[in-house]
């Protein structure tokens, strides 16, 4: 039990440092969703990246329903915006908002910049297109999520 807890803690700490070192998304702990973990047969722990950008579980479910209905998301409607949710979102951002990166589900500055362009056009976002998920970006994504249909 202790080794599993230690391994889980080390994986979580390593993931936090990897995200911070890469400058992927600048957000405080108040807007970060906890990292979910899934155990596999050999009892090792595999991190599942969840980036809810400050959305509640219900708001994130709204986003997942919209992604399912329009952008090919086939995962669970569980309110956890993981890799598959973000791949679907990146397909939307590539089609409409200038995202040019890989469809990999990684929420980097390119994903956030394209999201900011979409939020600027549709949700009254007036902040900079800087790839940083700051307070104005988070408020605009909440407005968008509230407007999307819940399953």
Domain boundaries, the chain: 2-48, 57-147
Contact status, residue 5 vs residue 24, Cβ threshold 8 Å? no
Element (H, E) at 5: helix 2-22
Query: Measured between alpha carbons, how far is 2 from 121 in angstroms, rounded to an integer?
Result: 50
Query: Measured between alpha carbons, how far is 123 from 10 in angstroms, rounded to an integer?
Result: 39
Q: What is the CA radius of gyration of the chain?
A: 16
User: Which value, to the nearest 10 degrees, does the dihedral of the CA atoms of residues 142, 146, 149, 151 take?
Assistant: 80
pLDDT at residue number 151? 77
Per-residue model confidence as pLDDT tens for the chain (151 residues): 433 333 333 333 333 323 333 433 444 434 444 444 444 444 444 445 899 999 999 999 999 999 999 999 999 999 999 999 999 999 999 999 999 999 999 999 999 999 999 999 999 999 999 999 999 999 999 999 888 766 7
For Cα atoms 53, 74, 84, give the angle at the middle one, nearest 5 degrees: 40
List of residues 6+ apart from 11 with CB closer than 8 A: 37, 45, 46, 47
Query: Measured between alpha carbons, how far is 102 from 89 in angstroms, rounded to an integer?
Result: 12
Q: Across-strand partners of 38?
A: 46
pTM summary value: 0.68
Contact status, residue 53 vs residue 131, Cβ threshold 8 Å? no
- What Cα–Cα distance (Å) separates residue 51 from each residue in 3, 47, 108, 113? 27, 12, 11, 15
């Amino acid at each position: 039990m202790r080794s599993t807890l230690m391994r889980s803690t080390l994986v979580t700490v390593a993931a936090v440092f990897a995200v911070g070192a890469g400058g992927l998304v600048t957000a405080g702990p108040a807007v970060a969703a906890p990292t979910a973990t899934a155990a596999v047969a050999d009892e090792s722990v595999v991190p599942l990246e969840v980036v809810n950008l400050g959305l509640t579980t219900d708001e994130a479910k709204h986003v997942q329903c919209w992604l399912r209905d329009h952008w090919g998301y086939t995962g669970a409607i569980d309110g956890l915006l993981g890799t598959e949710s973000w791949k679907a979102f990146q397909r939307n951002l590539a089609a409409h908002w200038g995202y040019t990166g890989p469809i990999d589900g990684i929420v980097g500055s390119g994903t956030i910049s394209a999201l900011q362009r979409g939020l600027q056009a549709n949700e009254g976002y007036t902040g900079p297109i800087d790839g940083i998920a700051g307070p104005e970006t988070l408020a605009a994504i909440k407005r968008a999520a509230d407007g999307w249909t819940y399953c």
